[in-house]
Amino acid sequence: MNLAFTQEQNELRRTVRDFLDKTSPEAEVRRLMETVDGYDPGIWHQLAGELGIAGLTLPEEYGGAGCGFVELGVVLEEAGRSLLCAPVLSTVVLAASALLGLGDDAACHDYLPGIAAGTSVATLALTESASRWAGADGITTTATLDGHSNGNGWTVSGKKAFVLDGHAASLLLVVARTGAGLSVLAVDAGAPGVHRVPRATLDQTRRQADITFTAAPARLLGEAGAARPVVEHVLDLAAVAIATEQVGGAARVLDMAVDHARTRVQFGRPIGSFQAVKHKLADMHLGVESARSAAYHGLWAAADNLPDLPLAASLAKACCGDAFVAAATENIQVHGGIGVTWEHPAHLYLKRAHSSRQLFGHPAHHRQRLARYVLAEQSE
């Protein structure tokens, strides 16, 4: 693992940053976060179509670009910088990875081209009402096969919570229990028996919904009872993805704080010339560079599908989640009064930081997981 980006990957970063500078400036983020959908289908179509972001990691046969997770990471870091309001995490990371992992060719042919083209928004409905993160454990939603239908007459019943973009997705991939074990089923968001309630989110740039399924018609993906390893793998990818996004956000608030400290004058001098402020910013820098190292390691582990991906994912999520919260918090402190106003963007990043720290497991959860892996490693 050399952790060095290729020329093409650096080129991709420049292209994405240029595009987001134009399409996702602060004013646009603020406009979208007040809309019902929370994203702009036109921009998403452009991101997917012109830049190929939605299909970046999908095989070419499904309309994708056949790139790896490192390329996706480049996009996620830039998306995190600009607080891009778009269904990247839900559709590209969660749903597309799950579809690919489940190995259901027919379903891949049916769903992935729409995702790659940016015409279909999809998400994974996993977490249930318990507010403590349990990963793939504690699923009570059930899927049953109606004996009278020929083959694919499944229905799903249960309550899902914290479903990312659950209000806007047309395709819901539901993790449910069957007689054979954990399974994933595709449910059309418009099907009877699907009741969606958008929630008011702390981070308005990323939406969530509660979804109740009452004998909703569903299509089993892959084999019944075989989904647990796939879901766990998808959650590791999601942890790496959100960690990389957090690095983008943390780096952005560090830039913001440095710019402010250089130009804001008090006591007749820029506040960045005071040691108390310098040391705060130096500590933010340590956090950002450590987090970036952990996230990139996760990207490479995901791209190469290394056996220690679970460890790399926990390392990244544990490190980046806290680094972003720390950086977003100190950014406000460096800004002083203006930093606590609605008009200044600092709060948007603080909210994103706190919200994303909870998604796919809090750092404390990942530290316990990391310790388990390391203890097991060292007992060998």
Per CB under 8 A, residues contacting another protein are 1-7, 258, 261-262, 269-270, 272-273, 275, 277-279, 281-283, 285-286, 289-294, 296-297, 315, 318-319, 364, 366-368, 370-372, 374-375, 378-379
Nearer to another protein, 150 or 379 (CB): 379
The 10 Å Cβ neighbour count of residue 9 is: 15
Min CB(97)–another protein separation in Å: 24
Q: Which amino acid is at 69?
A: F
Nearer to another protein, 273 or 341 (CB): 273
DSSP class of 272: G
Nearer to another protein, 171 or 318 (CB): 318
Torsion angle in degrees (nearest 10) through CA of 111, 112, 115, 117: -110
Which residue in this structure is represented by tokens 């899927």?
A: 143
**Contact residues for 52 (Cβ-Cβ < 8 A; gap 6+):** 64, 65, 116
Min CB(253)–another protein separation in Å: 13
Q: What is the largest CA-CA distance in the chain?
A: 81
Q: Which pair of tokens denotes residue 225? A: 């009872």
Which residue in this structure is represented by tokens 């406000």?
A: 332
How open is the CA angle 236-240-245, to the nearest 5 degrees? 145
Min CB(105)–another protein separation in Å: 35
**Contact residues for 233 (Cβ-Cβ < 8 A; gap 6+):** 97, 101, 309
Nearer to another protein, 86 or 309 (CB): 309
In three-state secondary structure terms, 343 is coil
Angle between helices 275-303 and 228-263 (to 10 degrees): 150
Nearer to another protein, 150 or 378 (CB): 378
β-partners of residue 181 are 178
Min CB(69)–another protein separation in Å: 16
Task: Note the residue count of the chain.
Answer: 380
Which residue in this structure is represented by tokens 């979804």?
A: 211
Min CB(318)–another protein separation in Å: 6
Min CB(60)–another protein separation in Å: 23
Nearer to another protein, 156 or 299 (CB): 299
Reference 36, options 196, 241, 171, 172; nearest CA is 196
Nearer to another protein, 1 or 202 (CB): 1
Nearer to another protein, 144 or 293 (CB): 293
Min CB(112)–another protein separation in Å: 30
Nearer to another protein, 99 or 257 (CB): 257
Min CB(70)–another protein separation in Å: 12
Nearer to another protein, 147 or 268 (CB): 268
Whole-number Å distance between alpha carbons of 132 and 129: 9
**Contact residues for 197 (Cβ-Cβ < 8 A; gap 6+):** 209, 210, 211, 212
How open is the CA angle 159-351-322, to the nearest 5 degrees? 95
Q: How far apart are the first and last CA of the chain?
A: 23
Torsion angle in degrees (nearest 10) through CA of 155, 157, 162, 168: 40
Min CB(249)–another protein separation in Å: 18
Min CB(269)–another protein separation in Å: 8
